[in-house]
Amino acid sequence: MENFFELIAKRESCRDYSEKQVDTEILRKCIEAARIAPSACNSQPWSFTVVNNSGLSPKVAKCLQELGMNKFTDKCPAFVVVTEEEATLIARIGGKAKNQEYASIDIGLATAHLVLAAAEQGLSTCIIGMFNERQRKEMLDIPKQKRIRLVIAAGYAATDKIREKNRKNLEDISRFM
C-alpha cells in the first residue's frame, strides 16, 4: 500500500481504456469509500448507480458524448452515475442561511473519495460533468425530478504511464498567515 501522497499523484483522468473488465467488488469498495465521505451536517445527499454491464455500458457512454465530447468512453467498461438526493432539513436551512451550495460540495468530496479508492485498487477513472442528463435518467430509471451531478468512467488504463500534473503553483493559490 502506498502513502496518501503517492496515491493522489497516481490518480489522473484516464481517457484511454484497455479491454479488461472490472470486477464489481472493486466498484463496491469505491462506493464504500464514497459512503464514508464527510458532508455538511452529515447530510449525505447522494446515491450511486453502478453500471458494469457489457449491454448497458456502451449506451451510457453514448449519453456522455454530446457535442462530440468524451468519445473515449466507448472503450470504458464501467460507469458510476452520481445522483443528488435530498439533503437533510438542517443542511438545507444551513445552506440557505449561509448562501452555500453544500450538496455540490458534498458530492465533490464523495467523488474524490471514490476516485481515490479506485486508484488505490489499480482502477483508472475519469470524472465526467458533460452529459445528456435526460437520456441518462430514462435509461437508468432515475426519477425525472432528481439531478445527475456527475458520471465517473472506470476501467483499466491502456498504458501505465502517468502524466505530469498541470497545476497552478502552490504560492499562487495559498496564503500562510
Which residues contact ligand FMN (rule: CB under 6 A)? 12-13, 15, 70, 126-130, 150, 165
Residue 118 or 128 having the CB closest to ligand FMN: 128
When CB distances to ligand FMN are compared, the closest residue is 129
Counting beta carbons within 10 angstroms of the beta carbon of residue 44, is it exposed (0 to 12), middle (13 to 18) or buried (19 or more)? buried
Least Å from the CB of residue 10 to ligand FMN: 10
Residue 161's CB is within 10 A of a number of other CB atoms, namely 8
Count the Cβ atoms, other than its own, within 10 Å of residue 29: 17
Cα 57 from Cα 55, distance rounded (Å): 6
100-130 burial code (b ≥16 CB/10 A, e <16): eebbeebbebbbbbbbbbbbbeebbbbbbee
The single residue listed with the C-alpha cell 474524490 is: 112
Q: Which is nearer to ligand FMN, 88 or 105 (CB)?
A: 105
| CB nearer ligand FMN, residue 43 or residue 124 | 124
- Least gap, CB of 112 to ligand FMN (angstroms): 9
User: Is the Cβ of residue 55 or residue 68 nearer to ligand FMN in the bound state?
Assistant: 68
Q: Measured between alpha carbons, how far is 35 from 19 in angstroms, rounded to an integer?
A: 28
Q: CB-wise, 67 or 177, nearer to ligand FMN? A: 67
In the complex, minimum distance from the CB of residue 57 to ligand FMN, in angstroms, rounded to a whole number: 17
Amino acid letter, residue 174:
S
Whole-number minimum distance, CB 129 to ligand FMN, in Å?
3
| Shortest CB 70 distance to ligand FMN, Å | 5
